[in-house]
A and B are shown apart, each in its own frame.
Chain A
Amino acid sequence: MINDLLDQASRHVSAPASTLAGGAWARAVRVRGRRRSVVAAVAVVALLSVTLTALHVGLPATERGGPDLAEKGVADHMPASPGRRALPSLPASGLVPPADRALPLTQWPATRAVAVVQPAGTEDGKPPMPLYVLDTDGSWRFVDGVALVSTRDNSGNESDPLRPTSISPSGRHIAVPQPDEVVIVDVTTGGRHRIALPGLNLEVVWRSDDLVLVSSEGVTHAVDRVAGTARPVLAGPLGPDLVAGPPDGPVLVLRDRELTERSLDDPTPVRRMAVDTSGLGSYRIAFWHGPAVGSGESIVRAGWEVDGAELVAVVDARTGVVRRLLDLGRGRSKSCCEPLAWVDDHTVLLRTDREGLLTWDVRDGQVRIVAGVGVGRIAVNFPGQR
């Protein structure tokens, strides 16, 4: 039986040193001491800051200046009962495509993709479900004539192919990674293009409406949608660490504790910045997951805090400083929560397992529920925000 084999395979592992527990306790005591010192230092800084603010507050707003986001890091917590908010482009009833009332895209082209939904399929071992496109008038299309397969990485992990970053900046095109190719759909005509790209392609990031980056575990290709050509531009497995947008800015990669600027034509990073959470007290991000979505000078991405909390953080694209985070609490699954898009320059659209679609205002920290979602993958587009 499998349990006997596992038992045999680990039987040679000898008992750990008797000091293991004592050593761990001693390290914990040291860590706690350091944290107390940090808290004390932060308290002193906060006191100074309050004093300076009190002196400063008499100035008119125009003289105070400063970026939109808070200067110092701020940690928000998911409220127990968030308020509600409507977004005009999204149906209040939720992003659930009515399969029986969706029209074929080839016969009924859309104005632009407000959202694209792919209901869950892979986990049950079935082929992926079709893509459903939400048009600006609230009607739904299904992308017909395109047989998609699941993406899979080198370890055999499979997933449905729609990505939160699949919609082009204008909302006109959808790019979907596929093994050995990328599929691009023009939602305004129903036209489909398949562009050959060797490898197990996993991620797509639009740079402009004509150029999309497609990453496999070995290389990232720049795909010219108009010419139908592709060229390798960045080596190595970048995956979702590649930041989506803004289209005209540098190529950014957010990985572990580093944010790097890259050029598409030069493999050497142009600039490296440490991801800095020092303004957020004891919060430390153990690793990132899911898409990194950029807008202007901010990047938003989900992560896992070193002590086990799920969170979403806003990183300053100019400095690597984590300006604000939303602590979603413990006990959620790792892929529970992901940023989908920037609604405007200070509001992020999130999707979470318990609440559905949410907006998070990174100026005042307000979290509000927009709508529910079904099970599956979602991409949402707000033109001009990427």
Chain B
Amino acid sequence: MSFDDRAEFVAFVHARQHRLLRAAYLVCGDHHRAEDLLQDALVKLALRWPRLRDGDPEAYLRTVMYRDAVSWWRRLRRESLPGALPDPPHEDDTGFVPDRLAFSSALARLTARQRAVLVLRYFDDLSEARTAEILGVSVGTVKSQTHTALRRLRELAPDLLAAIREG
């Protein structure tokens, strides 16, 4: 792991880290956990950087991060850790946004897999096939999870009905 490797790695991460952190937050709903997820995925990527840098390191990074997010959430739900629930949606610098609040609350009530599918499809703008590859599931599962997640969002946030459309 040479100095050049490190410089390349740092440049690669700098160009993507904010977007990836936002994606991790959307999947896990917790700022600290999102940073941990991204950091852990970056360590794994750094360990394989010499092998992956000429391939598709971004795909590897996303695969690790999303799979870890889903498995972490599954463990959390199973163990019901006190004090480890997702951050509630709160105001930010842009002020109170009712739509965002309603959407964030609805999003938090989906399963981690459903959130991951939505984020990959509509936030990262990936195809169904690419989403399936990253999550390690079939395209059929991506389709059905997308459909179920959007239907659930429409039930949970009926005021946003017009905005929550497929595609």
Please report A residues at the B interface, Cβ cutoff 8 Å.
1-13, 15-16, 18, 20-25, 27-29, 31-32, 123-125, 154-157, 237, 239, 256, 286-287, 304, 306-308, 331-336
Contact = CB atoms under 8 A, between A and B. Distances in A.
Interface residues of B, number: 72
B125 A3 contact: yes
Contacts, number: 149
Interface string B65-78: 00110010011011
A21 B111 contact: no
Contact of A333 (B18, B42, B90, B136): B136
A23 B14 CA distance: 12
B10 A22 contact: yes
Contacts of A307: 44
Main secondary structure of the interface of B (DSSP, over half): helix
B130 interface: no
A20 B13 CA distance: 8
Given A11-B94, A16-B21, A308-B63, A27 B100 contact: no
A239 B94 CA distance: 44
A156 B111 CA distance: 8
B89 A10 contact: no
B46 A28 contact: yes
Interface of B: 1, 6, 9-10, 12-14, 17-18, 21-23, 25-26, 31, 34-35, 38-39, 42-47, 49, 63-64, 67-68, 71, 74-75, 77-78, 89-90, 92-94, 97, 99-100, 103-104, 107, 110-111, 113, 118-119, 122-123, 125, 132-133, 135-138, 140-141, 144, 148, 150, 152-153, 160, 163-166
Contacts of B113: 157
Given A2-B118, A2-B122, A21-B10, A10 B25 contact: yes
Contact of B38 (A2, A10, A16, A306): A16
A298 to B, nearest CB: 25
B18 A2 contact: no
B25 A5 contact: no
